[in-house]
Amino acid sequence: MKRVISILVSLIILVVIYTKIDFTRLIAVFQNCDRSWMAISLGMVVPLTLFTSWRLQQLMPSGSRLGFLEANRLILAASVLNMVLPSKMGDIAKAYFMKQRGHLGGTLSLSLVIFEKACDMLSLLLWCVFGLLVYPQKTWLFWVMTVAVGVGLVMGVLLLASKKFAYFFFLVARKIAPKKLRLKLETMQASWGEMHDYFWRDRVQLIKITGTSIFIWFLHLLQIWFFILALKAWTPFLANLALSPLAILAGLLPLTFAGVGTRDAALVLFYQPYFDGATAAALGVLCTSRYLLPAIGGLPFLGQFLATVRGIKGESGE
């Protein structure tokens, strides 16, 4: 039911956006696009997937046997499930699958995925803070967002850097959370502690994974800038480092289907100083393709992952 509601919310937001812009202008934007830049920007899905798969390999303990091709299958299949299932079930299935195939034991697989997602979020926030600090057109709204994103970044770093702070954070969260979330928070707290113990044992490995994550998210934001060039529009690259992460964060709000709608509205709002609403709406379509193309690539591997998801639900008694 929640998924149906999120799809309806996405459709309503899109209808509002498209009724306020000239839809024929949106079609014209795509018809007049730079096809070379369009091919380059869409093609960046491939190196982004490869780098993400390589990072997953580097996250594995020494002695584990996760091949590069299998890492790619895991990333692509998880992309499919993340598009159609709530609560990032694709990433949970990825952890379960690695455990099931004998790559990792115990709860370490979940800890690894938690660390992977934490690195992604902190890297996105880092680039967002950097972009907002150098963004020239600061209104009160942008100052509020700069402070909010900065606080989120500091909190995230403290959660990764300090086991005591993480314990206190989860203790408070469990006390104020609804009853149905407390068990999930307890499980996450245990996995977080194991993740902290595992990754802080090897500082060199930790630095390598962190640097790789920051680089991967630089490529994500570069891809969005390439989308803008493909649409024959212009935004200074440093401004894009501020605006595109804000749109991505808006898409992460648990209101819509795969971020469609909230992300599009954020793009129309934030890029107003640089191009019109039709171009921003076209940029929203291209940003959705960043999630859709890997999901399409993962369809051939979906069968074995669906069996894994059924196994997760069976173990949880759902």
Instruction: Show Cβ contacts of residue 267 under 8 Å, excluding neighbours closer than 6 positions.
Output: 247, 280, 281, 283, 284, 287
Greatest alpha-carbon span in the chain: 57
Cβ(150)–Cβ(129) below 8 Å: yes
Residue 4 corresponds to which tokens in the numbers above? 């149906």
Torsion 265-270-271-272 (CA) sign: positive
Contact 34, 230 (CB under 8 A): yes
SS3 content of the chain, % helix, strand, coil (to 5): 80, 0, 20
Kindly report the number of other CB atoms within 10 A of residue 26's CB atom.
20
Domain ranges of the chain: 2-16+36-156+210-305
Residue 317: what pLDDT? 47
The DSSP code sequence of 31-68 is HTS-HHHHHHHHHTHHHHHHHHHHHHHHHSPTT----H
How high is the pLDDT of residue 305?
66
The pLDDT value given to residue 318 = 47
Residue 96, pLDDT score: 75
Q: Is the Cα torsion angle 190, 192, 161, 143 positive or negative in sign?
A: negative
Return the pLDDT at 193: 81
Pair 235, 228: CB distance under 8 Å: yes
Q: What is the pLDDT along the chain (318 residues), one digit of tens a residue?
A: 677 788 888 889 888 898 888 788 889 999 999 999 999 999 999 999 999 999 998 888 766 677 888 889 889 988 888 877 665 666 777 777 777 765 565 567 777 888 888 899 999 999 999 999 999 887 888 899 999 999 999 999 998 888 889 889 988 988 888 877 887 788 788 878 878 887 888 888 889 999 999 999 999 999 999 999 999 999 999 999 999 999 999 988 877 887 888 999 999 999 999 999 999 999 999 999 999 999 999 888 777 666 655 655 555 544
Give first-to-last CA distance, the chain, whole Å.
Answer: 15
Reduce the DSSP state of residue 272 to 3 states and report it. Answer: coil
Nearest to 190 by CA among 174, 213, 212, 177: 174
